[in-house]
Amino acid sequence: MNNIKLLIFDLDGTLVDSRFDLADAVNYALKKLKKPQLTYGEIPPLLGSGLGYLLQKATGEEEPAVLQHARQLFDEYYSHHYADKTRRYPGVKETLAALGHLKKAVYSNKAQAFTEAIVRELGLAPYFDAVMGAQPGRHPLKPDPAGIRIILGQLSIPASQSLMVGDSTHDMEAGKAAGMLTCAVTYGYRPAEVLKKMSPDLMIEAFPDLMKLPQLF
């Protein structure tokens, strides 16, 4: 673990707290569909598996036409409000700057356009060598490791010299499947006891704790 050259970060629940804007967009769609609203507290357990999963669980629907309409309504709202309440977690920018000697990438199950927009809007773009979100038709979502392998190929760094940092079991599964080391963050959308079951190589309680890891220096 003393030869890490690349860090791949999840976005929601790892770099940024986006639950409030996501909840507002979901509730906009639910209101239009005349369905019950969700509280902010009900949203985090539904995050991490992509928008399709989020809307299916939020609406309680399985009908493709209804879910497609829900997605259109979500996008209609979220495209104008993706950064209203979304914020970086404490110490993210400073920590990324301190890790300037390492290559860094973002890999999210959020749509590519929204992933890029949030990274840019919150001033994080200069710190990353690659930013990848969901791109249907190009690669499946996490926990499939296909997207990670694309990033590794783009940056010409082997999985054995890379660390996946995320707050979900999908992040840990994808990293392990790609042959990477994994680091679970416990301040995001999954409790520590759930993440421990995935046997991550490292666990941190706050983003700046990355600077305390001798493996990265």
Question: What ranges do the domains of the chain cover?
Answer: 6-17+88-216, 19-81
Please give the pLDDT value at position 1: 66
Structure token pair of residue 74: 């979500």
Please give the pLDDT value at position 217: 87
Do 19-81 and 6-17+88-216 have the same topology in CATH? no
Please give the pLDDT value at position 98: 97
Please give the pLDDT value at position 215: 87
Give CA–CA dist 110/5, Å, rounded: 25
Give CA–CA dist 35/41, Å, rounded: 17
Please give the pLDDT value at position 90: 98
Q: What is the pTM (predicted TM-score) of this model?
A: 0.95
Determine contact, residues 153/103, Cβ cutoff 8 Å.
no
Give the DSSP letter of residue 95.
H
Write the DSSP assignment of 55-123 as a string of letters. HHHHHT---HHHHHHHHHHHHHHHHHHTTSS-EEPTTHHHHHHHTTTSEEEEEEEEEHHHHHHHHHHTT
Contacts of 212 (CB under 8 A, 6+ apart): none
Q: Which residue has the tokens 């992040």?
A: 171
Give average pLDDT by consecutive 10-residue segment, the chain, 217 residues: 91 97 98 96 91 95 96 97 98 98 97 97 98 95 97 98 97 98 97 96 98 91
Order of all β-strands in the sheet with 181-185: 130-134, 103-111, 6-9, 162-166, 181-185, 202-204
Please give the pLDDT value at position 83: 97
Please give the pLDDT value at position 203: 97
Catalytic positions, please? Answer: 10
Structure token pair of residue 213: 């890891």
Report in angstroms the alpha-carbon separations of 209 from 19, 60, 180.
22, 38, 19
Task: Classify domain 6-17+88-216 by CATH number.
Answer: 3.40.50.1000
CATH topology of domain 19-81: DNA polymerase; domain 1 (1.10.150)
- For 98-151, what is each residue's pLDDT tens digit? 999 999 999 999 999 999 999 999 999 999 999 999 999 999 999 999 999 999
